[in-house]
A and B are shown apart, each in its own frame.
Chain A
């Protein structure tokens, strides 16, 4: 029997162990890193400018996030299956052109809207079929789609832009005034979409299948998951989201321009990556993506208000992307150890 006075070397609370454990936990929870980065950015800009932390400005940052945020949501789903989508901006642009041109030429706004959504969803279906059925690499499929869809937009629009006059088409740009600040319907839609997909990914079979397929497709297949159908469904859902993004884009800027959103594909990937979702698939969360998209716009807004050249905004965003991928890589290495 041991006397009460003696202690074994391991029993006592080792100094710093709790902290290390907390750090370990934080690193393994994908949204902690992005959330910290967002908090730091907001804090810095709140302290360095008197204009950043105002309700009006925060409302603006949200409005600036809506289109890319929706695109990044579709991009997240695809990246979770270890895919990538380079064509999402192009699909959105074609959606805006279809909607605005038909109304401009006297068409029924509801029919134009529906057709725009259908076109975007069908393009998602085509990409999905090529990836899931023919087994072509997503990078190649969507790279091809990027050219084809942009060219189609330009051909269909005669390279001109179409103003939007329909109340239905620019709906998401309007909203309610809460305490003197405009909160657009588009903001509510964006938050609603994220909440919905957060639920779907975490709580439904389809969501679990997406993670499983992205993590290890062969294991997923062996456990009875229809891998092809899961991947196909993700591209179709993403296509629909890009159609919704097109509708939101017409609310943000009531003018459909065939040259718009040329870098949206990269911006959406940026948001996903900064949000902590792994480019290798199977790991991450859409909440992280929303935070990632917000970080990009907080940086742009804050740095502009601080009077810093727009080129430094690109430097800051690019650095964050590399850091985020670096963190992911380190975590992966930890997994295989």
Chain B
């Protein structure tokens, strides 16, 4: 018995072995390609309600939360959810392809978080032409009535709340502001930026703005940008950040310069990491948004549309709440205990 195991093959034919490896890899690829083609939309005589969800990406915790909430809501309603996504924030082509695939699969409603206000309008129009209810989640389209209804954060309002908080926290100190924006040309970036300045009470060309940078919402780029801006001047007492990863990068750079005590950082998101960072004092406040509400309301609306024919319409603000452990006079806020019970991600 044992002898068999110790026998060594001395001449190992190389070519056939390489062939075998290729064969195995090829078979696996084929098998995986075929496995994905099953369609389970048909369910006996009565057709299940099928709802498509198209998020900006599959990776951002915000959209991961939204997808999970939509799946839970669909299950509760006895509906089926097909979740697709673009490959990166701004991937209009990927979102259009996802829409087309959902139309081909004959869904009754599509929930989409448009990467760009106009990038997917053609696909949306085609879906609606075929009688599919289309609801925008998270961000509105332009024009807003390109979709049947919108369930989203009012990003201007969120920015305004953030700006008002940071300005009030400065008390009588004259503002010296750094602005860490998202992506050039993104509507959410623009709305939050404009809202912040409005709430903060200055204009875009104000000399109180000591520096600005695009960060693509990326922690690493935000830290580098803040480090470089602080090289220019350390006369800074307030920072606008487009989202929590950016606030994280900014706070690291500010802490490294020993400026934490003089600078108030405000941000938007309400992820659990973000709320914990507020609690730890890394930034003063965050404005929480509610992806779970967006997803649940969207799924319920589609279900109701299929069952009773009632069509939703207009913009529904899914709410924003200021989370801080340092409340200021005149602005309603919740503490981080409240935030940790309702945060996402």
Contact = CB atoms under 8 A, between A and B. Distances in A.
A, B in one complex:
yes
B231 A305 contact: yes
A70 B301 CA distance: 51
Nearest to B17: A133
Contacts, number: 77
A134 B23 CA distance: 13
A304 interface: yes
Interface residues of A, number: 34
A54 B228 CA distance: 12
Interface stretch (A10-18, A26-34, A114-122, A258-266): A258-266
B228 A301 contact: yes
Interface stretch (A158-166, A200-208, A319-327): A158-166
A304 B180 CA distance: 13
Contacts of A300: 224, 228
B75 interface: no
Contacts of B225: 304, 310
A182 B219 CA distance: 21
Interface string B225-241: 10111011100000000
Contacts of B58: 154, 159
A56 interface: yes
A247 B44 CA distance: 54
A60 B64 contact: no
B260 interface: no
Contacts of B232: 49, 51, 304-305, 307
A57 interface: yes
Contact of A304 (B220, B229, B245, B248): B229
B59 A133 contact: no
A64 B59 CA distance: 25
Nearest to B272: A160
B248 A60 contact: no
Nearest to A153: B59
Nearest to A305: B232
B254 interface: no
Interface string A136-160: 0000000000000000001000111
B219 A260 contact: yes
A252 B225 CA distance: 14
Contacts of B184: 311
Contacts of B273: 160-161, 163
Contacts of A259: 59-60, 218
Contact of B18 (A51, A60, A133): A133
10 contacts: A49-B232, A133-B18, A158-B64, A160-B64, A252-B220, A252-B223, A253-B223, A259-B59, A304-B228, A311-B214
Which 3 pairs across A and B sit closest by C-beta, in order of nearness? Answer: A304-B228, A305-B232, A159-B64
